Amino acid sequence: MKTCRECQERKPLEEFPLQPGGRDGRHPLCKPCRAAQERRRYERQRERLLAQMRSDPARKRRTRWQTLRRKYGLSRHEYEALLIAQRASCAICEMRATLLVVDHDHRTRRVRGLLCTSCNIALGQFDDDAGRCLSAATYLRSTARPSEAADA
């Protein structure tokens, strides 16, 4: 148990963000207080941070690769290898897109492939449930006009 320096509540250690180098390896503020602290800091420095981002066009690219590495353990070279393997097209609809997003299993964080934004959003709406996706495909086939059914 640990007491938050901000709200003074006693909470389990898991309620405090990790902070390597800290006395107990945890931040002195609980997660909600820490998030509020970061929101206040951002609001105070918003204009400076936005100006900094606008003045450094390479920053957006660097941030993208850092995010892919942190979230999925995916290097720029691994992303580019996936892009080449998929012929720079979405793994579902096979449409070419200027930007493909990383699709991953939300439980295991394992990367499955690269998708266009539309397909990625669609999978998210189906909660990555293959049964629901198949049901949707069956529904679309059953309600297709005769000319569309011949094309499928």
From first to last of its 152 residues, the chain has per-residue pLDDT tens of 999 999 999 999 999 999 988 788 999 999 999 999 999 999 999 999 888 878 887 877 788 889 899 888 999 999 999 999 999 999 999 999 888 999 998 888 899 999 999 999 999 899 889 999 999 999 999 998 776 555 65
What's the full length of the chain, in residues?
Answer: 152
CATH topology of domain 2-55: Wheat Germ Agglutinin (Isolectin 2); domain 1 (3.30.60)
Q: What is the CATH number of domain 58-151?
A: 3.40.1800.10
pTM of the model: 0.58
Dihedral class, residue 19 (left if φ above 0, else alpha if ψ from -120 to 50, else beta): beta
Question: Residue 150's pLDDT is what?
Answer: 59
CA angle 135, 136, 139 (to 5 degrees): 85
Every domain range in the chain assigned CATH 3.30.60: 2-55
